[in-house]
C-alpha cells in the first residue's frame, strides 16, 4: 500500500510525499521482502534525485547496489549524484560499471569524457609547473609490473589506480595482459586504455596486451624474454 501511494505521489510530482511513503514501505519490509525493499529504496533515490538531495541519493543507491550490484538504474543515479558533489573518481567507477553492462550508454560515456578532459587539463597545468632535478632522475628505480585480467575490467581499473597512487620513486613499466570473452568487457577494456589516470604514469609507461585471440602464456613469455634481453629490472607479478 505504501509503495502504491509513493508511486502515485511521484507521478503527481509530489516527490517529498513520495519519499516519505517509500520510507514507510522500507520500514515495514521484513527479511523475506528483499526485492520489495530494494525497489522502494531505488524509488526513494529517484525522489531524492528530483529534490537534488545528492547525499541521500548516494545513501539509498549504495544500499541497492549492495543487494544488486548490476542494478543499472541505481548505478546511474549514484554516478550522477557523486559527480554533482565533486566525487569524480567515484562517479567514474560507477560509469565503468555501467559501461561494462551497457557499453554505449550515453550518460556513462559523458562522465568518462568529462573526467578525461579534466585530467588532460590538470596534467597540462602540472607539466607547465613541474621541474625535476637531474639527481632525482638518476636515483629513480626501474620497476616492471605484470597484471593479468580476464573479463574483469573493473578489477583491472582498481588495481591500476592503486598501483599508480601508491608506488613512488619508480619508473614503472606496467604490462597488462587482458582477455575478454564478452563484448561488454571488451568495450570496457578499450575504454580503460584511453583513461589517462590508468594509462599514463608520471614516470614510465603502460602497455596493454590483448590476449583475447591467443593464449595468454605465449604473449607473457615473449614479453618476459624481450625484457630479459634489454637488461635486469625489478619485477612484480
Look up residue 234 and give its three cell numbers. Answer: 625489478
Name the grid cell of 180.
575478454
Residue scoring higher pLDDT (203 or 8): 8
Q: Rounded to the nearest 5 degrees, what angle is found at the Cα of 120, between the Cα atoms of 114 and 121?
A: 90
pLDDT surpasses 90 at 82:
yes
Q: Give the DSSP H/E element, type plus range, for residue 176.
A: strand 170-179
> Given pLDDT bands bounded at 50, 70 and 90, which one contains residue 112?
confident
**Where does the pLDDT of residue 135 fall: very low under 50, low under 70, confident under 90, or very high at 90 and above?**
very low
DSSP annotation of 132 reads: -
Please report the pLDDT score of residue 214 as a whole number. Answer: 62
Question: For the packed helices 72-84 and 106-129, what is the interaxial angle rounded to 10 degrees?
Answer: 30
Residue 218, pLDDT above cutoff 70? no
Determine which helix (DSSP H) or strand (DSSP E) holds 147, and give its type and residue range. strand 141-150
C-alpha cell at 48: 531524492
- Does 7 or 34 have the greater pLDDT score? 7
Spatial distance between the Cα atoms of 173 and 45, rounded to a whole number of angstroms: 43
Neighbour tally for 110: CB within 10 Å: 12
The model's pLDDT over 4-23, given as tens digits with 9 standing for 90+, comes to 999 999 999 999 999 999 99
Confidence category of residue 107, pLDDT binned at 50, 70, 90? confident
Amino acid at each position: 500500500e505504501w509503495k502504491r501511494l509513493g508511486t502515485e505521489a511521484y507521478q503527481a510530482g509530489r516527490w517529498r510525499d513520495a519519499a516519505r511513503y517509500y520510507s514507510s514501505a522500507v520500514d515495514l519490509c521484513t527479511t523475506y521482502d528483499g526485492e520489495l525493499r530494494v525497489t522502494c529504496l531505488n524509488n526513494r533515490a529517484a525522489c531524492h534525485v528530483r529534490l537534488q538531495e545528492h547525499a541521500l541519493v548516494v545513501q539509498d543507491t549504495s544500499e541497492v547496489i549492495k543487494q544488486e550490484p548490476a542494478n543499472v538504474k541505481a548505478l546511474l543515479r549514484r554516478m550522477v549524484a557523486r559527480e554533482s558533489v565533486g566525487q569524480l573518481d567515484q562517479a567514474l567507477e560507477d560509469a565503468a560499471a555501467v559501461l561494462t553492462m551497457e557499453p554505449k550508454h550515453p550518460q556513462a560515456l559523458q562522465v568518462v569524457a568529462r573526467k578525461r578532459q579534466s585530467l588532460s587539463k590538470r596534467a597540462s597545468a602540472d607539466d607547465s609547473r613541474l621541474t625535476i632535478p637531474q639527481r632525482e632522475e638518476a636515483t629513480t628505480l626501474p620497476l616492471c609490473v605484470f597484471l593479468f585480467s580476464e573479463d574483469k575490467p573493473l578489477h583491472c581499473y582498481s588495481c591500476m589506480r592503486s598501483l599508480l597512487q601508491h608506488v613512488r620513486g619508480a619508473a614503472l613499466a606496467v604490462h597488462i595482459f587482458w582477455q575478454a570473452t564478452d563484448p561488454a568487457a571488451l568495450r570496457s577494456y578499450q575504454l580503460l586504455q584511453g583513461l589517462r589516470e590508468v594509462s599514463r604514469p608520471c614516470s614510465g609507461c603502460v602497455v596493454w596486451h590483448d590476449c583475447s585471440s591467443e593464449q595468454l602464456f605465449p604473449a607473457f613469455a615473449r614479453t618476459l624474454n624481450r625484457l630479459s634481453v634489454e637488461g635486469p629490472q625489478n619485477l612484480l607479478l
